[in-house]
Amino acid sequence: MPLLLCPNCNTSMQNVARSGVEIDMCPSCRGVWLDRGELEKLLSGQREEVAGQRQDRERFEREVSDFHRDPDDWKRKHPYDQKHGGHRYDDDYHYRKKKKGFDIFDIFD
């Protein structure tokens, strides 16, 4: 016996895990219902991703600004990398593969 019935079409709802959050979804009408705190969890993951992108952008803009101020000094501080075919500006920062952020349409796949 299911615990929840869809308020829209009165069929049994399924629990689906998306981005670490359990949400309730109706298999017939595809309606999605969130319990208390679930929306906040989904939004906090999105906020963290946006904050990380903002930090990356600010760092990039600082590097560009430093390069425009004194290109020769910038090149001395950032050695040429034969493997990647360019000057590396992330000597002290190693990019890690970021997981794809939460997309609300992921619920419906």
From first to last of the 109 residues of the chain, give the pLDDT tens digit.
Answer: 457 888 888 889 888 887 788 888 888 888 888 888 888 888 887 788 888 888 888 888 888 898 899 988 888 888 787 887 777 766 444 444 455 555 665 655 5
**How far apart are the C-alpha atoms of 72 and 57, rounded to whole Å?**
23
**How far apart are the C-alpha atoms of 109 and 51, rounded to whole Å?**
27
Confirm whether pTM is higher than 0.85: no
Q: What is the DSSP string of 27-90?
A: TTT--EE--TTHHHHHHHHHHHHHHHHHHHHHHHHHHHHHHHH-HHHHHHHS-EETTTTEE-S-
**How far apart are the C-alpha atoms of 9 and 11, rounded to whole Å?**
6
